Amino acid sequence: MKLPLLALAAATLAAPATAQMTITPMGPLRPDQQQFFDLYKQLVETNTQVSNGDCTLAAQQIATRLKDAGFKDDQITLFSTPDHPKEGGIVAVWPGTDKAEKAMLLLAHIDVVEAKRSDWERDPYKLVEENGYYYARGIADDKFMAAVWADTLVRFAKAHYHPKRTVKMALTCGEETDTAFNGAQYLASHKRDLIDAAFALNEGGGGRTDGKGHLMVQSIQVGEKVYQDYTLTTTNPGGHSSQPVPDNAIYDMARALDAVSHYEFPAEFNDTTRAFFSKAGALRPDEEGKAMVALTKNLDDAEAMKIVNQDKALHSMLRTTCVATMIDGGHAVNALPQHVEANVNCRIFPGHTPAEIKDVLTKVIDNPKVEITYRRDDKPLAKAPPLDPKILGPVEKLAAKYFPGVPVIPSMSTGATDAVYTSGAGIPTYGVPSAWGDPDGNGVHGLNERLQIKGIYTGRDYLYDLVKTLANE
């Protein structure tokens, strides 16, 4: 994922007037928790970064654990392609008792963001326990969820427990690198029947603390923006730099990017973001909270919009955003530039297409010398799942048990997950509450990634019960 996963939308919240749940110390591990730890440790200590890691090996390790627990060979599918032998994944199918009930899918990615040992205080591929936290690359994003899903199926198999609904699990590679082989995309495009389900549970939700020992909020991700990169190109015959002319490829690009930087896409709501602004705003007694609620009643409230737009996350949640992220141009220090290329990264509000946003950029730039093309055009459109009470009801009911007093707020991710592929294939996909993160982001996508141990095991218990509940309703 391109942004921290844990409580992505919840991170926009300031602390409520009073803390919601005090985080108590973690006691000794139960035998079942130790079993989970062993699986989790093996997974995070298996390097799965795209440059020199091996997702296929990690998938094989999970398959071995499932078979040892009682899975049959025909219930496990290991997959990869000849062009990407180390970027494989696994699909496991645990049969339910009611053939009329459509399956549910547990989705997670096992690849991770690159991590250099020289940058980290600890070895990124060794699970280290310090001061109530586990440290390792992928400890949060997304091997926590992958380990929980695999552990859940191990527990089902060992107990010979079969819920009404068949439970499928897909652990895939390629989510963290947009140009890599993506296992979720491969399954949705080529093995759709294998992962067919009524709905899927995924990353993207989670909790947030105040950084002082209190859990403030849990979020459930219900939809996400469309990720799209556009390549802007300007060209020119060039010439000797001692004889400059007004027609300059760098100047054309500069004016184009300046125009993009000053353009504000219109604000809008969908069901998820309206619910988020309403519920999250009501939790906050400050000026920003009141402005959030005001916008749900009148999106044209200029004063409220001015206040909310000061928060970059809230600003992004209200609209499509486009920003220049890379630029390359010129060929010599003493020559006029012949070719300039820039990347504009857009996060498109659901309901709009990349083609529509390309047309907007063309009008905003208003210069036929600037060519605009898609960096890639093979992604499906993200489809926001419904605010389905059959999903949200159990999510909230179990949250009251495991996170007492903590509100659960629907959110739309401004980042991107593999839900774009499953939802695009017609499987409503939800990022469910689970472990919690701190205000500093816990090093996700950065250095010294960590998760609080108490949150890991509380989140694991919550997710296990959530799977059982949804598989039997």
Identify any residues that bridge with 130 across adjacent strands, giving them in sequence order.
133
DSSP class of residue 148 equals: H
* E strand segments, 116-274: 128-130, 133-135, 167-172, 199-202, 206-209, 214-224, 226-235, 239-240
Judge whether residue 387 has pLDDT over 70: yes
Pairing of strands 321-329, 339-348: antiparallel
DSSP class of residue 99 equals: T
Judge whether residue 1 has pLDDT over 80: no
* Nearest partner of 33 among 461, 463, 473, judged by Cα: 461
For the stretch 153-173, pLDDT in tens is 999 999 999 999 999 999 999
Task: Read off the tokens for 458.
Answer: 């509380």
Domains detected in the chain: 10-224+382-471 (3.40.630.10), 226-263+320-381 (3.30.70.360), 266-318 (no CATH)
pLDDT at 19: 47
For the stretch 81-137, pLDDT in tens is 999 999 999 999 999 999 999 999 999 999 999 999 999 999 999 999 999 999 999
> Which position has the higher pLDDT, 473 or 97?
97
For the stretch 353-369, pLDDT in tens is 999 999 999 999 999 99
pLDDT at 14: 46
Judge whether residue 13 has pLDDT over 80: no
Enclosing H/E stretch for 106: strand 104-109
Judge whether residue 64 has pLDDT over 70: yes
Q: What percent of the chain has pLDDT over 90?
A: 91
Judge whether residue 268 has pLDDT over 70: yes
State in Å, rounded, how far the first CA of the chain is from the last one.
30
Our CA angle for 141, 354, 431, nearest 5°, is 30
pTM for this predicted structure? 0.92
Give the whole-angstrom CA distance, residue 102 versus residue 95.
11
For the stretch 424-456, pLDDT in tens is 999 999 999 999 999 999 999 999 999 999 999
What average pLDDT does this structure show over 33-55? 98
Which three-class secondary structure state does DSSP give residue 55? helix
For the stretch 398-409, pLDDT in tens is 999 999 999 999
Q: Please provide the average confidence, as pLDDT, over all residues in the chain.
A: 94
Query: Would you place residue 11 in the very low, low, confident or very high pLDDT band (cuts 50, 70, 90)?
Result: very low
pLDDT at 179: 77
Q: For residue 307, count other CB atoms closer than 10 A to its CB.
A: 20
For the stretch 280-324, pLDDT in tens is 999 888 999 999 999 999 999 999 999 999 999 999 999 999 999
Q: Tokens 């909790």 correspond to what residue?
A: 207
Between the alpha carbon of residue 350 and those of residues 225, 386, 445, the distances in Å are 6, 13, 25
Peptide bond into 123 cis (omega under 30): no
Q: For residue 212, count other CB atoms closer than 10 A to its CB.
A: 11
What average pLDDT does this structure show over 133-154? 98
Query: Would you place residue 205 in the very low, low, confident or very high pLDDT band (cuts 50, 70, 90)?
Result: very high
pLDDT at 284: 86
Give the whole-angstrom CA distance, residue 424 versus residue 189.
10
Query: Would you place residue 16 in the very low, low, confident or very high pLDDT band (cuts 50, 70, 90)?
Result: very low
pLDDT at 5: 37
Q: What percent of the chain has pLDDT over 70?
A: 96
Identify any residues that bridge with 449 across adjacent strands, giving them in sequence order.
none
Residue 406 identity (one-letter amino acid): V
pLDDT at 379: 80
* Nearest partner of 163 among 77, 97, 106, judged by Cα: 97
Task: Read off the tokens for 100.
Answer: 């009329």
